[in-house]
Amino acid sequence: MRNPHLDKAKGLLIFLVVLGHCLERFIGWNDPNSALLAFIYSFHMPAFIFVSGLLFKNHKLFEKILFFAVLAVLFQILYFCFESFWQHTQNWLHWVIKPYWILWYLWGMVAWSLITPLLMKTHYPLLIAIFASLGIGLSPFNNYLFSIGRIFVFLPFFVAGALYGKSFLHYIQNTKYSLWIAAASIIISITLLALLRPNPYWLYGSLSYQQLQIDAVHGVLTRLWLLMIASCGIIASLAYASKLPDILRSMGENTLAIYLLHGFFIITLTKLITFSSTNWMLNLAFCLVISILLCVILKARFLSRSIQYIAMHITQFLLKLMQYFYTRFL
């Protein structure tokens, strides 16, 4: 049975994902709206990952992992073909070793679903995940490859969701102080973000401290600061969810199609529309309208069901193929 409170939170977060991508692609980080963009990026994916952890179950784990891997490969191919239509010269190696733009989350789901059950067997799973998040920045390698950086940077949110998500959601749904908690969390988050004023690349979680041109000590402290900001954003998102409009509930019930398909529309619009207004309010209004329209259109239930149907059938075929080879040769 679905939880309306959680669906509204998911609807808000998927809208922020689309809005963030619109602001980034159409306007960029040099616009006055970049403060809003930084605020969105400081917590929207950590919150989405926390909710994913909250919904995580060990049941049929391998099938779920394979399902996300199938989605990742399928849409990597689709986006490659789509980008090739607009830009005829493509680097094949780049597409093999780097998940395309929005698809890193799918590989994250594969990795988090593998790592989390192992961490659950330890005494301090969340603490280990936090150390991994802070430690991956020390890597001498390119953390952008295979989204290794993002997988470990955002690992604590998935683990926290799996460990404490349900109990926190139950508390926040039943307390009369939810709005006060949301307001306090937003104020703390904005204050911490304003004090830090991070380079936008920090918010992607994809680069090492060396790539960000900062020493290890300051890198660890900055990442820890950003983890606290994201945590405040997660609390605010879930605490305020009950007051959100019902349209976000239907969006939250169909996040898969919105997440996977909105990129095609944003890419097309950026190729067809040159938007260079100096009026920041007009820029914001334009991106808001585009984001709302995309979410309203792509929340159609048949789109998510169609994607799930195709990916699940490929997954079932691969499972049967693996079973055949296992019984035939092993």
Interval 131-176: pLDDT, tens = 999 999 998 877 777 889 999 999 999 999 999 999 999 999 889 9
Count of structural domains, the chain: 1
Q: Which two tokens stand for residue 40?
A: 């969105």
Q: How far apart are CA 254 and CA 104, in angstroms?
A: 19
pLDDT for 157: 98
The length of the chain, given as a count of residues = 330
Q: What are phi and psi of 100, to 5 degrees?
A: -70, 125
Q: Rounded mean pLDDT of the chain?
A: 91
- Tokens 């709302």 sit at which residue? 292
- Range(s) of the domain holding residue 84: 4-329
Q: Contact, 19 vs 248, CB < 8 A?
A: no
pLDDT tens string 273-303: 876 666 778 888 999 999 999 999 999 999 9
**What are the tens digits of pLDDT across the range 17-67?**
999 999 998 888 877 778 899 999 999 999 999 999 999 998 889 999 999
Closest CA to 44 of 8, 18, 74: 18
* Whole-model pTM over 0.85: yes
